[in-house]
Amino acid sequence: MNRITETVIEADPKLPVIRMTREFEATPEQLLRAHTDPALFARWVGPDALTTRIEEWDARTGGSWRYTSVHDGTEYRFHGCFHEVRADRIVQTFTYEGDPDGVALETLWFEDLGDGRTRLRAQSLVDSFEGRDAWLRSGMEVGVDEGYAKLDRMLADGSV
Amino acid sequence: MNRITETVIEADPKLPVIRMTREFEATPEQLLRAHTDPALFARWVGPDALTTRIEEWDARTGGSWRYTSVHDGTEYRFHGCFHEVRADRIVQTFTYEGDPDGVALETLWFEDLGDGRTRLRAQSLVDSFEGRDAWLRSGMEVGVDEGYAKLDRMLADGSV
């Protein structure tokens, strides 16, 4: 069996967009739950060294979210709104409060591959190539890889 | 006196962005109110031939909105969420439900020019140049011009 569990992260050459693709041993319903249930989401999001505390969470079309991630006593805050939450797609905004004027429009698609597998495609759109490239250079792939590995373990142990 | 009241609409050559600039005989507070008070907003938004009915409206950071515009009995529906509402800036998402997968990230800035005048700058970011250019070719400038002319009249008669 050929199982792709690495995350492919790509910068679009013509659009200020980052795209990520990752396959999971999960149904689309499970991946949706992992992204909308606040207790589940807090357990897997971000690098291993961070602990995440949900401050606000209303994962429905027109709702909003806010969470704080803590590393060695330092707090990193994030917030956004849910433009749309539906079975095959989430569209939301994202701001890291350390860069309060920066806003990304994020889209997640859950593609059913059958056999209990789902491809997650994610797109993050910003309004400058400089901002996009700075984000890519920030080491964000560590948080993405470690976060999805935690989600893999939660799927394997029946947590989701 | 040199008063610019036309709306300048520009397509960015390198980003999938539309930018608009318009000056008003208004304070930033008045322009913010015209964009956040639902009864005021419904009176000026869009072309003269449309009547707008607000369905949902919570103009604060993390809130959401939904309205229906009616022309000759045909209804056009729009919705989005407010990523941020602050004195000098609104960031929100925007979907026309006739194109339900399309989403724009809109930013409005209110720049105080002094003397009771304010420059409104607006930016609409989407994830394709084709989508952006189709929107520019749709005749959207008629709705923009007629809407802002209505807002000028409301500012002049003390409605805002």
Domain span at B129: 8-156
Classify residue B1: in a domain, yes or no.
no
Specify whether the CB–CB gap between B64 and B56 falls below 8 A: yes
Q: What digits encode the pLDDT tens for the residues A18-63?
A: 999 999 999 999 999 999 999 999 999 999 999 999 999 999 999 9
Report CA torsion sign: B102, B100, B91, A33: negative
Q: Could you tell me the CATH number of the domain that includes residue A104?
A: 3.30.530.20
Classify residue A41: in a domain, yes or no.
yes
Q: Measured between CA atoms, how close is A78 to chain B, in angstroms?
A: 12
Q: What digits encode the pLDDT tens for the residues B112-127?
A: 999 999 999 999 999 9
Residues of A in contact with B89 (CB under 8 A): 101
Q: Do B105 and A128 touch (CB under 8 A)?
A: no
Which residues in B have their CB inside 8 Å of a CB on A? Answer: 14-17, 56, 61-64, 66, 79-84, 89, 91, 93, 95, 103, 105, 107, 123, 125, 127-129
Residues of A in contact with B17 (CB under 8 A): 127
Residues in chain A: 160
Cβ neighbours of A113 (radius 10 Å):
12
Distance CA B87, CA B85 (A): 7
Q: What is the DSSP string of B81-111?
A: EEEEEETTEEEEEEEETTSTT--EEEEEEEE
Within 13 A of A21's CA, how many CA atoms are on the CB side? 6
Q: Band of the pLDDT at A1, cuts 50, 70, 90?
A: very low
Classify residue B91: in a domain, yes or no.
yes
Specify whether the CB–CB gap between B81 and B63 falls below 8 A: yes
Q: Band of the pLDDT at B1, cuts 50, 70, 90?
A: very low
Classify residue B2: in a domain, yes or no.
no
Q: Do A105 and B125 touch (CB under 8 A)?
A: yes
Average pLDDT, chain B: 95
Classify residue A3: in a domain, yes or no.
no
Does residue B3 register a pLDDT over 60?
no
Distance CA B52, CA B128 (A): 28
Task: Provide the pLDDT for residue B5.
Answer: 75
Q: What digits encode the pLDDT tens for the residues A92-142?
A: 999 999 999 999 999 999 999 999 999 999 999 999 999 999 999 988 899
Q: Which residue has the tokens 């707090």?
A: A75
| Interhelix angle B140-156/B28-36, nearest 10 degrees | 120
In this structure, which amino acid lies at residue A118?
T
Q: Chains A, B: CB contacts under 8 A, how many?
A: 78
Cα B9–Cα B13–Cα B15 angle in degrees, nearest 5: 95
Distance CA A115, CA B129 (A): 36
Tokens linked to A122: 């994610």
The total domain count for chain A is 1
Residues in chain B: 160
Residues of B in contact with A103 (CB under 8 A): 83-84, 91, 105, 107
Q: Which residues of B73-84 are buried (b: 16+ CB within 10 A; e: fewer)?
A: eeeeebbbbbbb
Cα B43–Cα B44–Cα B49 angle in degrees, nearest 5: 90
Q: What DSSP designation does A7 have?
A: P
Residue of B nearest to A89 (CA): B101
Residue of B nearest to A124 (CA): B127
Q: Do A127 and B15 touch (CB under 8 A)?
A: yes
Task: Provide the pLDDT for residue A3.
Answer: 57
Residues of A in contact with B79 (CB under 8 A): 61-62
Which residues in A have their CB inside 8 Å of a CB on B? Answer: 14-17, 56, 61-64, 66, 79-84, 91, 93, 95, 101, 103, 105, 107, 123, 125-129
Cβ neighbours of B127 (radius 10 Å):
20
Q: Do B81 and A79 touch (CB under 8 A)?
A: no
Q: Measured between CA atoms, how close is A63 to chain B, in angstroms?
A: 7
Classify residue A119: in a domain, yes or no.
yes
Does residue B131 register a pLDDT over 50?
yes
Q: What digits encode the pLDDT tens for the residues A59-78?
A: 999 999 999 999 999 999 99
Q: What digits encode the pLDDT tens for the residues B12-59?
A: 999 999 999 999 999 999 999 999 999 999 999 999 999 999 999 999
Distance CA A59, CA A37 (A): 8
Distance CA B22, CA B18 (A): 14
| A107, A109, A127, A129, best to mutate vs chain B, most B CBs in 10 Å | A127
Q: Do B62 and A62 touch (CB under 8 A)?
A: no
Question: What's the predicted TM-score (pTM) here?
Answer: 0.95
Q: Do B105 and A82 touch (CB under 8 A)?
A: no
Cα A57–Cα A58–Cα A63 angle in degrees, nearest 5: 125
Classify residue B3: in a domain, yes or no.
no
Residues of B in contact with A61 (CB under 8 A): 64, 79
Classify residue A1: in a domain, yes or no.
no
